[in-house]
Amino acid sequence: MEKQLTSEELQQVKSLQEQTQQVTMQLGALEIKKIQLKNQVTSLQQQEEQIAKLLSDKYGIGTLDIDTGKISIVEN
């Protein structure tokens, strides 16, 4: 035995399915963006480590005051 939904009921179901699909796609896009941002953070951290090594090689090991640009060298 078959019964027929009204056109309004069918439209409600279709609309909910479409909305669910759109939200799912947005979540996927957000996850991709999250991965891209994590990769960007990793890249920036690597660049910072490279600069820190270059500065340590040039000035010696110490603590940098980022506001003044002065390095307090650690004595061995």
Q: What is the mean pLDDT of the chain?
A: 95
The mean per-residue pLDDT over the stretch 8-28 comes to 98
The mean per-residue pLDDT over the stretch 16-37 comes to 98
Domain spans of the chain, in order of start: 8-73
The mean per-residue pLDDT over the stretch 43-69 comes to 95
Those residues with Cβ within 8 angstroms of residue 55's Cβ, 6 or more apart along the chain or in another chain: 64, 71
User: What confidence category does residue 75 fall into, taking pLDDT thresholds of 50, 70 and 90?
Assistant: confident
Q: Which helix (H) or strand (E) holds 33?
A: helix 7-59
pLDDT at residue number 76 = 67
Tokens 């796609």 locate to 25
Phi and psi at residue 71, to the nearest 5°: -115, 125
Conformational region of residue 47, where left means phi above 0, alpha means psi within -120 to 50, and beta covers everything else:
alpha
